[in-house]
Structure 1
């Protein structure tokens, strides 16, 4: 029992019972200074060796003057080092291409590694959530190397144990803004390693003129534009089916007419037939004389033309069965390319249910059985939703031009395409900057490739009709 104390004596009592939890602190072990110096020295040496191996030119440019300065003094160093920059300048003036390829990009890669990526690596990784800060220590993905191409930086990264590619694909915008790039793309090198592509400039910002018509007949692949790395964009129309999706003004006509342009010599040689379905009466009708008599505009004509193509396919399948497994274009059995300008008008927006059923059945038959016997389909549409185009998965190769919504990118190119950098919804609506620009996903690779189709003008189409239409016919 506590005894009651008079007056203010209670306030002077001091309790001996602790009012806080007991805190246990581990003993601090002091690392000897000599051991710390040895560790830091070993790290420095290994870093120098690694940089000399990965960036030999940059390290040589820095190391040679430094060694000469330390051994012989500044006069000898200046005398012996002066010819080096002079030689580089002369090389750059005489053969700029080889200098940039062998020296310039290596120096740029070293500078970007030191000044951009390594300097910002830790904060970008931590803020984006790709790194972890645990118990006072940072666990970061390892920055392995930087390689510079003509238009982009390719950063090789080793992921943390337990990370997935999706962890990086979900943060491409964080990475792009963190390192001052307009976009970022993620691709897998091997298990645990990624390559992040950061563009330094846009090589597809300038419209491309129409590609010259080939001198010799060719069935494909047909050159219709250029890829982001500067190599030609070849469309394999003979070996697969192509689906092109894009908003109004995105440049679907550029792909269609560039493909036609590349096949014209083969059409004249009798190795290719172009069958055109033009329900909008706007795009393909401009060069109708190139397709006659295999041109259809009304839904009834389109259904009949597609069913004729199915008949040709079935007749060839009966003849080829047991004799050959692939098609070789000949005059007797030419490659048939069925071009549909606005396929959604025929498969989704068609009011006549019977025509809709006939057209959908014919397209499904051609896209599932036509490739082996030499019938291909090149279809274009604006709305890639499943209820609009329910056979889009039957097209092995897909092209996404400018789209209205981010969700439409995966509808066209497949799940995860936008996460890997196919930002088709961010393509500029300006015709000079974005018309014909898009992303391609091929049957053989899940990685999207950024491309731009050449622009075929009205004058180019008139010239094509005049030169290649039967009997020199004119456009109707």
Structure 2
């Protein structure tokens, strides 16, 4: 191997092969100075045009002030500057949301682009292995636009040719630490382009109180909490099946009771029936009066209730055959939601083998055939392993609350979910910080979304039972 020689010493480098007299002399091309100047000037002009195109307002402000100064003098320019600043401050006090959306977040995005991302882009890319240093030249992914929201920075990136999304998802910790964020998530925006999300704050850090009940009966999507971007979290329950997985104390009850709470007006109107399976006798028994006769606690009762749900499903399928392919809730054919608190107790930990097979067969039948005829399943469990829940792939929509191991995240949300930022194993075990916080992977979108479910207290459940008792499970 030859040592790297400084300057033009490579010009005098001569080498031969061990067994031949062939001489290899590296070619040294001298670039004319005029060509170097033209290239530099072209790059400066291109950068100026790019800056004006990306930041027209920021470029217009100094040009306007300079023109006023040139034509009317510096007092006029100073007066104009003061007037603009006063107007912006007044706008911020009068209508802060619109000011933040139109001015504040754009200024913040420009500042973070210059001071955080562009400043540290090269070292972070090279050290993390996402960039390449070859023959004295850095080949780096191209930093694109930075957009700021109330809680995060969204950074668009153009990948190097030949890179894959997994190359970036394997280095999320490097990116987060390199740019001073607690975490990082990656999503493919279009071919060759990524969107990196760097949270600046956690809008889900505080618990959410129980949401107001809907004024009008609805079967969904039902609002049960808040997404990380501040929008309401609306969960689809009609026309799908939902699996909720989480460790003890992760907040599975918050999701179950929030769904039940929003469906109670529709249950009173006869458009929904709530069927409850509560093998632990702890969670759903607190509001048992809401389900009427559609409540089961012992394994035998749970098996009978599931068989009844299968019978309702099959009768509807026979009536709908050749007439309709989707279900619309009516008083004659209401939407039936089967809620199972701890499904693993029935499918894996049940000692009676015959009863276990019967329950598993009924759940598999409901999850494969029930959604088209208006029979849905909302199941919760603690252990998402395949040997514990062998039909988890039959649930189109999945929610991962706090989990004990990183491998469990992909078990619940699908392969690669944790690499894309679904860090369910990092959710805080402290109830005030992490209860009800989780990641959702919907059938229509493979990208996980961080959410938090509202907490329905015991007092709220008692009030619901007093107001809507016997309507949830009305036949």
- Return the TM-score normalized by structure 1: 0.92
Alignment map for 1:7-406 (pairs within 5 Å): 26=26, 28-65=28-65, 74-406=74-406
C-alpha distance in 2 between matches for 1:32 and 1:204: 59
1:432 positional shift = 1.0
Cα separation, partners in 2 of 1:363 and 1:118, compared to 1, 3 Å: same
SS of the aligned residue for 2:445 comes to coil
C-alpha distance in 2 between matches for 1:186 and 1:210: 32
C-alpha distance in 2 between matches for 1:319 and 1:472: 24
SS of the aligned residue for 1:470 comes to coil
C-alpha distance in 2 between matches for 1:444 and 1:80: 52
Q: Identify which range, 315-324 or 77-86, moves more after superposition.
A: 77-86
1:105 positional shift = 1.0
C-alpha distance in 1 between matches for 2:471 and 2:338: 22
C-alpha distance in 1 between matches for 2:324 and 2:218: 21
Cα separation, partners in 2 of 1:271 and 1:37, compared to 1, 3 Å: same
Q: In the TM superposition, what whole-angstrom CA distance separates every residue of 1:273-306 from its partner, at most 9, and x where no partner exists?
A: 1000001100000000001111001111111110
1:42 positional shift = 2.1
The residue aligned with 1:407 is 407
C-alpha distance in 2 between matches for 1:78 and 1:198: 38
Whose radius of gyration is greater, 1 or 2?
1
The residue aligned with 2:7 is none
**Given that residues 370 and 376 in structure 2 are in contact (C-alpha distance below 8 angstroms), is that contact kept between their aligned partners in structure 1?**
yes
- Return the TM-score normalized by structure 2: 0.92
C-alpha distance in 2 between matches for 1:172 and 1:66: 44
Q: Identify which range, 255-264 or 25-34, moves more after superposition.
A: 25-34
**Given that residues 292 and 472 in structure 2 are in contact (C-alpha distance below 8 angstroms), is that contact kept between their aligned partners in structure 1?**
no
**Given that residues 216 and 265 in structure 1 are in contact (C-alpha distance below 8 angstroms), is that contact kept between their aligned partners in structure 2?**
yes
Q: In the TM superposition, what whole-angstrom CA distance separates every residue of 1:415-461 from its partner, at most 9, and x where no partner exists?
A: 00001110100011111111101000000111001111000001100
Cα separation, partners in 2 of 1:68 and 1:123, compared to 1, 3 Å: farther
C-alpha distance in 1 between matches for 2:472 and 2:39: 81
SS of the aligned residue for 1:455 comes to coil
The residue aligned with 2:10 is none
The residue aligned with 1:460 is 460
1:122 positional shift = 0.4
**Given that residues 130 and 168 in structure 2 are in contact (C-alpha distance below 8 angstroms), is that contact kept between their aligned partners in structure 1?**
yes
**Which ranges of structure 1 fall in alignment gaps of 5 or more residues?**
1-19
**Given that residues 146 and 155 in structure 2 are in contact (C-alpha distance below 8 angstroms), is that contact kept between their aligned partners in structure 1?**
yes
Cα RMSD (Å) of the superposition?
1.9
Q: In the TM superposition, what whole-angstrom CA distance separates every residue of 1:394-423 from its partner, at most 9, and x where no partner exists?
A: 000000000000000000000000011101
**Which ranges of structure 2 fall in alignment gaps of 5 or more residues?**
1-13, 17-22
1:148 positional shift = 1.0
Cα separation, partners in 2 of 1:433 and 1:383, compared to 1, 3 Å: same
1:323 positional shift = 1.2
**Given that residues 57 and 103 in structure 1 are in contact (C-alpha distance below 8 angstroms), is that contact kept between their aligned partners in structure 2?**
no
C-alpha distance in 1 between matches for 2:337 and 2:450: 24
The residue aligned with 1:423 is 423
C-alpha distance in 1 between matches for 2:138 and 2:326: 57
1:60 positional shift = 3.1
SS of the aligned residue for 2:377 comes to strand
1:37 positional shift = 3.1
C-alpha distance in 2 between matches for 1:75 and 1:25: 67
**Given that residues 57 and 106 in structure 1 are in contact (C-alpha distance below 8 angstroms), is that contact kept between their aligned partners in structure 2?**
no
**Given that residues 55 and 106 in structure 1 are in contact (C-alpha distance below 8 angstroms), is that contact kept between their aligned partners in structure 2?**
no
1:66 positional shift = 5.0
**Given that residues 249 and 431 in structure 1 are in contact (C-alpha distance below 8 angstroms), is that contact kept between their aligned partners in structure 2?**
yes
Q: Identify which range, 82-91 or 173-182, moves more after superposition.
A: 82-91
Q: In the TM superposition, what whole-angstrom CA distance separates every residue of 1:46-78 from its partner, at most 9, and x where no partner exists?
A: 222212222223333444445555777644432
C-alpha distance in 2 between matches for 1:120 and 1:289: 60
C-alpha distance in 2 between matches for 1:65 and 1:24: 61
C-alpha distance in 1 between matches for 2:471 and 2:146: 58
Cα separation, partners in 2 of 1:72 and 1:32, compared to 1, 3 Å: farther
C-alpha distance in 2 between matches for 1:25 and 1:175: 43
Q: In the TM superposition, what whole-angstrom CA distance separates every residue of 1:179-219 from its partner, at most 9, and x where no partner exists?
A: 11111111111111111111111111111110111111111
